[in-house]
């Protein structure tokens, strides 16, 4: 259950930092509000489609590859995407970079975790662990990212936080 909490926390941090994109793009990267909002619409629209595709892949090829390979892709892509965005402040970087990151499916873990719990405690255990991970790590992700940007003065701080969370998740696999 602790392992599930840690892995769920990892994915939750990545998800909530990604949801912070509108504020980040407008306040840190200093792009127009309409572009910042469009970026959020694009990544969440793509994320919806990719979640369905990730579920299909997990059913077809097994949970493990669809859980681990996307995490490794995120480790390789997160920093270059943020660097591109921070260096160019362009619409292409925002939409293309965050769009690319949103193509990484994270959906298989929830199913694998639920399947790994004993049936007699599955619903309660999953709900409790999920709620704790979302409240503790998702609820603080945007606050921590804002604090990191403020304390370091570095617009790449969200990338480092996402990389740390992803690395912890990968290590737990």
Instruction: Give 70's pLDDT tier (boundaries 50, 70, 90).
Output: confident
Mean pLDDT of 46-56: 90
**Cα gap 59→80, rounded to integer Å:** 31
**36-50 pLDDT, tens digit each:** 999 999 999 998 999
- Quote the pTM value: 0.87
> What are the structural domains, with CATH classification, of the chain?
2-172 (1.20.1250.20)
78, 162 contact by CB (below 8 A): yes
Residue 157 tokens, joined = 């701080």
**Cα gap 139→141, rounded to integer Å:** 6
**Cα gap 90→81, rounded to integer Å:** 12
**27-36 pLDDT, tens digit each:** 999 999 999 9
């Amino acid at each position: 259950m602790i392992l599930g909490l840690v892995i769920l926390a990892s994915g939750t941090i990545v998800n909530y930092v990604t949801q912070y994109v509108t504020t980040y793009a407008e306040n840190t990267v200093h792009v127009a509000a309409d572009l910042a909002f469009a970026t959020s619409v694009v990544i969440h629209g793509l994320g919806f489609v990719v979640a369905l595709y990730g579920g299909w892949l997990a059913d077809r090829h097994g949970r493990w590859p669809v859980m681990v390979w996307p995490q490794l892709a995120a480790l390789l892509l997160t920093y270059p995407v943020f660097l591109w965005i921070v260096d160019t402040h362009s619409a292409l970087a925002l939409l293309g970079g965050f769009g690319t990151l949103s193509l990484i499916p994270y959906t298989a873990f929830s199913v694998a975790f639920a399947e790994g719990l004993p049936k007699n405690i599955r619903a309660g255990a999953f709900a409790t662990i999920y709620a704790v991970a979302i409240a503790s790590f998702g609820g603080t992700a945007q606050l921590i990212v804002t604090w990191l940007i403020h304390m370091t003065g570095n617009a790449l701080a969200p990338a480092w936080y996402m990389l740390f969370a992803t690395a912890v998740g990968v290590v737990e696999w």
